[in-house]
Every structure is written in structure tokens, then in C-alpha cells.
Amino acid sequence: MIYLFVFVGGAIIGSFLNVVIYRVPRGLSIIYPSSRCPYCKTPIKPIYNIPLLGWLILKGKCKECSHPIPIRYPIIELIGGVLAVLVYWRSGELTIFTLIIFAIFATLLALSVIDLDYKAVPDSLNLLALTLSFFSSPAVIDNFINALLLVGGVSLLRFYTSFLVGRETLGEGDIIVAGTMGGLLGVKLALVAVVVGAGLALLPSLYHRLIKEEMELPFIPFLALGTFLVWLFQPQFLQLWSRLYG
């Protein structure tokens, strides 16, 4: 039963993330005005604003102008709900830290979608996630130091790889995300998460390069997914680490 509440809460946050994803890159306020159809500007009635159900009731179309509402909206609400359930399940209790960790992953989700859309992310959201990562556990100073180590390490990686390849390999946005990973996961697991993220990006990047002949693949979605997987399965990943390095 509690999981149902957690899921609904997460889906409501997912619905808010849709607003954030649409408005923040356009420089619009996320509070005012209330949600409206991006095409005919008609305000959306509260009943249709219910996560997931609203989209289903409307059959994916605006009631006024019948313009299709992208399936992405309910998908992000669904991910928000599932994310909340998994964060709660892994934490085993509801504390301020559980909420902060959920807020970090929710922000990373918004950043991932924005990165896919624009191949760039707003510093406001990115720095928000980084700042939250300092407070993701009671060890604030340690979290801060771990974030700095990851920012420094990934900056170095960027210098080396950019020099070798002869062009920018990582964006500034990626470096701030790396800091968030350090603050949240600690140095060991953050490094594992970078490797997992890079591994996940490998095939799509080859596809992008060879088939679509485009150079730039958004990297933040892969870093975010790597971070979430490593956080979710941290005992397993720590075990793997100690087996590899003792």
C-alpha cells in the first residue's frame, strides 16, 4: 500500500518534471502560468493533469485543438513513479536523505531528457543536482570532497582525451554531472558508474557515428543511468570492486 502512495507521489513529480523539461531551457517560469497546451495555449483542466490517467483519458490529444500530446509526457510520469518506488525500496525508510536522493535522480532525469533535446543542459538544474549531492548523506564534508575529486578527475580525463582526439570530448555539463556522481556515490562507486555509463553509451555512440554520421551523442543520459544502476545495486558493485582490487 505504501508503495502505491510512493508511486503516485513519484508520478506527480514526473508530471512536474515535464513542465521543467519544457520551460527551463526556454527560460520560462516553472510556477506561472499553470500547465497549458503548447499549441493552442488553452489551460489544461486539473482533471487532465492527473499523471498518466490524464493522458489516457484525453487519448493523447489536446481537448481543444486535438493536437497530439507526445507519449513522452506519460512515459516521464511513469519513470517518475518507478524511480520513487525503487529509491524508497533501496533506502528501506523515508528520511530526509531518501527525499534528497530522489530529488537528485529526478533532476538527473530532467537533465537527461533536456540533453537529448538540445545537446546542452541548463546550469541551474545541473548545479542544483550537484548541490543536493553534498547533502545526500550526513557526511556532508566527505560528500563535498568526493564531488571535487570527480570534477577534477573527469576534467583531467577531458584534457587528455580532447588532446588525443583533437576536439572537445566532454562538455562542461558532463563534468558537473560527474561531481554529482561523486557526491552521491563516493569516489569508488562514482568511478564504477562512469565506466558503466560509458559502456552503455558505447553501442549507441557507434551507431551514431557510423550510421547517422553525427559526431555528438548526448552523454548525460548514460551517466545518469549508470549512476542510478550503481546506486541501486551498490552492495553488488562494492563486492565486485573488492573482488577486483581487494
Q: Is the peptide bond before 33 cis (omega within 30 degrees of 0)?
A: yes
Q: Which is nearer to Zn ion, 58 or 103 (by Cβ)?
A: 58
CB of 229 to Zn ion, least distance (A): 38
Give the closest residue to 183 by CA, choosing from 112, 135, 246.
135
Distances (CA, A) of 178 to 130, 152, 192: 9, 9, 12
Cβ closer to Zn ion: 5 or 39?
39
**Shortest distance, position 66 Cβ to Zn ion, whole Å:** 7
Q: Between 61 and 209, whose beta carbon lies closer to Zn ion?
A: 61
Give the other-Cβ count within 10 Å of 228's Cβ.
21
Shortest separation between residue 41's beta carbon and Zn ion, angstroms: 7
Q: Which is nearer to Zn ion, 8 or 37 (CB)?
A: 37
Instruction: Give the shortest CB-40-to-Zn ion separation in angstroms.
Output: 3
Question: Which positions lie near Zn ion, rule CB under 5 A?
Answer: 37, 39-40, 62, 64-65, 67
